[in-house]
Structure 1
Amino acid sequence: MGNLRPGEVEWPASGHAGKFPGEQPCPGDSHEYRLCQLPDCSPGAVPFRDLQCALYNGRPVLGTQETYQWVPFHGAPNQCDLNCLAEGQTFYHSFGRVLDGTPCSPGAQGLCVAGRCLNAGCDGVLGSGALEDRCGRCGGANDSCLFVQRVFRDAGAFAGYWNVTLIPVGARHIRVVQRSRNYLALMGGNGRYVLNGNWAVSPPGTYDAAGTRVVYTRAAGPEETLHAAGPTSQDLLLQVLLREPNPGVQFEFWLPHESYGPFQAQAQVQGWAQRQPQPREVEPQPPQLLERPVAHAPTRTPDPCPPCPDTRGRAHRLLHYCGSDFVFQARVLGSHRQAQETRYEVRILLIYKNRSPLRTREYVWAPGPCPCPPLAPHREYLLAIRRLVSPDGTQDRLLLPHAGYARPWSPAEDSRARLAARRCPG
């Protein structure tokens, strides 16, 4: 149970006159309340609200000589009133406000102050609304740490444990997702498994590891997630127990600046594809891509490719997302025109939907010499792709349909794609 320490400020309360002639009153409250960090109450201690209701036990109330035993009642409109239920009866009575520092409701973070329920910000001031950023700094702007987000796909076809990534000391806001019949496994710095180790499947739940709490969920479908707020006090090793080909393990976390360099070096040893930390900088294009070909004719030749049709809108996104075989974020490595087709070489960065396994590098084909929409080299896109298998089975291609779904990747586009996934039938 926390106590409160009111601290008077030097200006008068709103509506009060100033000390000097002509002085304007200052707006706002005249008191600031700060939460004192006191030890938690011992197990079995009587809650603060229960103690306040018990003060009226055996005392006449309601203008009669009847006495009752009182316990807290939490169904009243104002949770910062001392609402007490008469034991064995069907009525409750409000004895005014609770004492400052009383929890608003069982298990809640808010405390009652002057009849109002206030939550303490990360600065300890009740009602300030101050929040920690992703780096753990109160009121920060996420500029003291870096965002790591990758997809692990480099695993063989045989069953067993495969190392995915080392989650270093100091990692925050850890999130891991995989969608298959495989299992995520987590090992502590002492070499002992936290969950799904030694070929034994752990139940979903909350596990204590590396100074934080890891929430492990496994849905009815083939999907698993790990979440942990951090920061971690020691390294954690994330693994995947393969039972079938690995469609991709997505993981992300935030690291302090000083921890990112050692992690990047370890990633290079593992052979992971390198990606820039967030916020990403624009990468310069090679000089040959910046040079335009010199026209040999004095007159300007018309563009042989007509404008692409408009493919914007939610209906278009849902149509292609739900009707596709694959949806993924990819970086275009290069393109090649071949007869009446265009072939793109892409590196897959993040998989949203797949009906069969994908490799880290794939070829995506677009019909015609003027694909719509066109994909620019060295840029990242969110693509909805169909699988095209020839009748004789000799060709198995990833096809970007004409006027299909290809949007430059952004956090906003990521949110739209995840929303579309929830609205697909079946």
Structure 2
Amino acid sequence: MATRAHPVDPHLCSRRPRGAQNLRFSLWILVSCVLGGAAQGPGEWASWGSWSRCSSSCGRGVAVRSRRCVRLPGEDPCWGDSHEYRVCRLQDCPPGAASFRDLQCALYNGHPVLGTQKTYQWVPFHGAPNLCDLNCLAEGHAFYHSFGRVLDGTPCSPGTQDLCVAGRCLSAGCDGLLGSGTLEDRCGQCGGANDSCLFVQRVFRDAGAFSGYWNVTLIPEGARHIRVAHHSQNHLALQRIDGRYVLNGDAELSAPGTYEAAGTQLVYTRQGRQETLRAVGPTSQGLLLQVLLLEPNPGVHFEFWLPRERYGPFQAHAQALGWLPRPRQPQPREVEPQPAETPLVPVAIPAQAPTLAPDSCPPCPDTRGRAHRLLHYCSSDFVFQARVLDRHRQAQETRYEVRVLLIYKNRSPLRTREYVWAPGHCPCPPMAPHREYLLAARRHVSRDGTQDRLLLPHAGYTRPWTPAEDSRIRLAARRCPV
């Protein structure tokens, strides 16, 4: 961050501190006076204050806390918000109790409004465009009036979980803070980085010499974000650990729909030859996934996320099914081949391979700006800080070997070292070895399921990493739609 020189009030240099709470302020004055008044960056936030009382006496409401920006003459304002809002939950309101919005409209009953002496009885009106205005309908009349903003903690509309704060309709993140945008990761951790669980993924291609039920995998207790799919005349089947079928058991086909099993909802769809099975989880007990073979098996794709501590017991149970599933393998990012197939071997790049010549490449399009950053953050599968270790040109692609330093967003696990691929000999924007970048990448799995790679889109979001770039990308994360 650049250093900006600001004049220091000479009276400050002669002031004496009063109390320990002024220690930081005194140190700043001392350094500023000795160095001739050089000040850096924005001010700093003081500690958060305590949370206020809940805005409601029953049901859901809002509590707020604030903090003060401590800055001296010449310093920029602090970065971030001065107020935080969280949802507070009290006992349920009595049956038939008036809603919070009803009570606010009723405050104007019997009072002259609209510049006349006429009075009205007011009830909430929910057809106005701004949900967080106090829009009230005059009973018995065909007009409504807006009395300004509703009070903080008012539901945006009946039946919604969103609440109005400072005139804006906000959703609560998993941390309970309104507008934080914090979500659970694939492991179920609020604001996590998908590092407390493992991603299990495989294609079951075994085919027997007879029709009937074949074991595909055990879906263990604690599994999350389960997805199973295939495209054939065969049918998926799901069995509880006590032997009772949930789906397509005893050669009787189940109707597409939602089923309850193992403490979660399973959504089963069938359209022509395409069958899918999805569940958010977590499962409260194991489930056995099977396939009812009516024709040769083209492959059953399945995946789920599993807590690390449950992976060992899962391996032991899975061995009984005749194979040992594994989480995603080390670099390069290849899906595990079947035993009968020849393993894919990455092509060796000769040491004398020609490197990129940036001066021979045409200039890249200008992709700067907040809109471009927000677009690529929201649409990417991975956003992370990385140091480029090596760069090679392969066919019509450029391959970067990077060390992942800091993860902002990931929809599947990232390792310390990754390969990142960019289209063409002259990727835009280019990355140089031995430098650190903040980049957004997408996951791409080949149609035959043999390659699983991180791709940098052409003219995508790749920036040299700086503290300012870190602040900008964190702000983009908060504004990304859910």
Residues 35-85 of structure 1, C-alpha deviation per residue, up to 9 Å, x if partnerless? Answer: 234567789876544554566677765446363563431x43322112244
Contact map agreement 1:71 1:87 (CA 8 A) in 2: no
List runs of 5+ in structure 2 lacking aligned partners: 1-58, 334-342, 351-393, 398-443, 457-482
Q: Which residue of 2 aligns with 1:416?
A: none
Q: Which residue of 1 aligns with 2:299?
A: 248
Amino acid at match of 2:300: V
Amino acid at match of 2:154: T
Contact map agreement 1:81 1:115 (CA 8 A) in 2: yes
Shift, 1:256, TM fit: 0.9
- Whole-Å separation in 2 of the counterparts to 1:206 and 1:106: 27
Q: 1:192 to 1:99 in 2, by over 3 A?
A: farther
Contact map agreement 1:49 1:72 (CA 8 A) in 2: no
- Whole-Å separation in 2 of the counterparts to 1:171 and 1:158: 31
Q: Which residue of 2 aligns with 1:390?
A: none
Q: Which residue of 1 aligns with 2:231?
A: 179
Q: Which residue of 2 aligns with 1:420?
A: none
1:262 to 300, 308, 313: 313
Contact map agreement 1:56 1:70 (CA 8 A) in 2: no
Shift, 1:214, TM fit: 2.0
Residues 239-289 of structure 1, C-alpha deviation per residue, up to 9 Å, x if partnerless? Answer: 2233333322211001111111222233333123x5541363469x9xxx9
Contact map agreement 1:50 1:72 (CA 8 A) in 2: no
TM value normalised by structure 1: 0.57
Amino acid at match of 1:97: R
Percent identity among equivalent residues? 64
2:330 to 280, 289, 308: 280
List runs of 5+ in structure 1 lacking aligned partners: 293-308, 313-379, 385-405, 414-426
Contact map agreement 1:148 1:253 (CA 8 A) in 2: yes
Per the alignment, in what secondary structure is the counterpart of residue 270 of structure 1?
coil
Q: How does 1:41-190 map to 2 (within 5 A)?
A: 48-49=100-101, 52-53=104-105, 61-62=113-114, 63=116, 65=118, 67=120, 70-73=123-126, 75-85=127-137, 90-106=142-158, 108-156=160-208, 158-190=210-242
Per the alignment, in what secondary structure is the counterpart of residue 260 of structure 1?
helix
- Whole-Å separation in 2 of the counterparts to 1:216 and 1:44: 39
TM value normalised by structure 2: 0.51
What RMSD, in angstroms, separates the aligned Cα atoms of the two structures? 4.0
In the alignment of these two chains, the number of paired residues is: 296
Q: Which residue of 1 aligns with 2:391?
A: none
Q: 1:157 to 1:281 in 2, by over 3 A?
A: same
1:5 to 63, 66, 71: 63
Shift, 1:120, TM fit: 1.7
- Whole-Å separation in 1 of the counterparts to 2:277 and 2:312: 24
Contact map agreement 2:201 2:326 (CA 8 A) in 1: no
1:236 is the counterpart of 2:287: yes
Amino acid at match of 2:61: N
Residues 93-115 of structure 1, C-alpha deviation per residue, up to 9 Å, x if partnerless? Answer: 32322232223245544321121
Q: 1:84 to 1:202 in 2, by over 3 A?
A: farther
- Whole-Å separation in 1 of the counterparts to 2:97 and 2:291: 44
Residues 214-246 of structure 1, C-alpha deviation per residue, up to 9 Å, x if partnerless? Answer: 222223x32122222222121122222333333
Per the alignment, in what secondary structure is the counterpart of residue 320 of structure 2?
helix
Q: 1:98 to 1:250 in 2, by over 3 A?
A: same
Contact map agreement 1:53 1:72 (CA 8 A) in 2: no
Q: 1:128 to 1:48 in 2, by over 3 A?
A: same
- Whole-Å separation in 2 of the counterparts to 1:46 and 1:244: 62
Per the alignment, in what secondary structure is the counterpart of residue 227 of structure 1?
strand
Q: How does 1:382-397 map to 2 (within 5 A)?
A: 382=446
Shift, 1:198, TM fit: 3.9
- Whole-Å separation in 2 of the counterparts to 1:381 and 1:115: 44
